[in-house]
Amino acid sequence: MSTTILGIESSCDDTSAAVISDGILRSNVIAGQKVHEQFGGVVPELASRAHQQNILPVVSEALRQAGVTASDLDAVAFTRGPGLLGSLLVGTSFAKGMAIGLDIPTIDVNHLHGHVLSHFIKETEDQEVPEFPYICLLISGGNSQIILVRSPFDMEILGSTIDDAAGEAFDKCAKVMGLPYPGGPHIDRLATEGDADAFKFAKPHIPGFDYSFSGLKTSFLYTVRDNLKVEPDFIEKRKADLAASLQKTIIDILLDKLAKAVKETKVKAVAIGGGVSANSGVRKAIEVFCDNRRIKAWIPKRAFTTDNAAMVAIAGYFKFLKGEFCSLDMPPYSKVEV
């Protein structure tokens, strides 16, 4: 008898629903929100309104693509947090209402756990997945963490950012350059055309495995400001070099702490997850990093790097097998660590 889980993701500005049956992905539907582009960032109230408009058609399409009906579901997994409370409330309320109507359990999922476990999203029966333990470098707009993953239920944060995350550094520096939001993909594209050694930006000296990107951001801002004083069209002329140098610096910062963590834990595999793991420079750097150390590199499909319900569904599937369900009175939460 098969186990079919519906996953719902609504933590920020993507409404997503996915269906997993016996650990195999059957559908993964995502509706983005372009309304935020004109504001240079996500507007929480607009995000929650868009989720209300999108969630029913997105869930319906996920069920249709999976070839199942609501009555085939064994549980509904949903992102309970962290994220924007208004957005989370839409997904949480929908999941609970659907579960009540179908008389099936709900499963609450930590959004960050979903990113960490995204490598277990299988599209075929024979698809390879990581062996425990491994280190996950979780890098997104709101988080930069090094996590030791011993099992789907045993994760230890070795280090995290003390200020800005890597994704924030990309987006905020991109905004200084006049690039559209989100800036990360534009930096990635421009970096392929520039000289990564053209500019030197500040790197932090933080003890342990923790990250810091605020100094890099300030260094970038000062470099642009000082050059604009003598060359008004500096940004336009040097966009590619600025992007390449910024990307190289961020990668260097990420890998410096990752190398220390791998050496101390002696793990045989490194995985990356989160929105920044879609960056082509980061993906290539991780491959080289792992190849040099003769350890396994786990690079997610780009479809599973951004916020998506497939990662919620697989995390929910693990919890379903363990019998970990949530009560209907559990509210969403905005902040939490893995």
> Could you tell me which of 230, 228, 254 has the C-alpha nearest to residue 176?
228
Could you read off the pLDDT of 256-282 as tens digits, one per residue? 999 999 999 999 999 999 999 999 999
Whether 33 has a pLDDT exceeding 80, the answer reads no
Residue-by-residue DSSP string for 106-149: EEEEEHHHHHHTGGG-BSSTT---PPSSEEEEEESSS-EEEEEE
Residue with structure tokens 């929480």?
A: 44
Q: Angle at CA 303, nearest 5°, toward 248 and 153?
A: 90
Share of the chain above pLDDT 90, in %: 89
**Segment (H or E) for 262:** helix 234-265
| Statement: residue 337 has pLDDT above 60 | no
pLDDT band at 248 (very low <50, low <70, confident <90, very high): very high
Phi-psi region of 143 (alpha: psi -120 to 50; beta: other; left: phi over 0): beta
pLDDT digits (tens, 9 = 90+) for 235-244: 999 999 999 9
How confident is the prediction for the chain on average, in pLDDT?
A: 94
Task: Look at residue 37 in the predicted model and tell me its pLDDT.
Answer: 67
- pTM (two decimals): 0.93
* 38-48: pLDDT as tens digits: 666 778 778 89
Burial label, 225 (beta-carbon count in 10 A; 0-12, 13-18, 19+): exposed
Distances (CA, A) of 114 to 28, 37, 215, 306, 315: 14, 26, 30, 11, 6
Is residue 106's pLDDT more than 80?
Answer: yes
pLDDT at 73: 98
Measured CA to CA, the distance from residue 169 to residue 198 in angstroms comes to 18
Tell me the C-alpha distance between 39 and 47, whole Å: 12
Edge-to-edge strand ranges of the sheet holding 296-298: 154-160, 144-151, 134-139, 269-273, 296-298
pLDDT digits 0-9 by tens, 110-169: 999 999 999 999 999 999 999 999 999 999 888 899 999 999 999 999 999 999 999 999
User: What is the pLDDT, as a whole number, of residue 35?
Assistant: 62
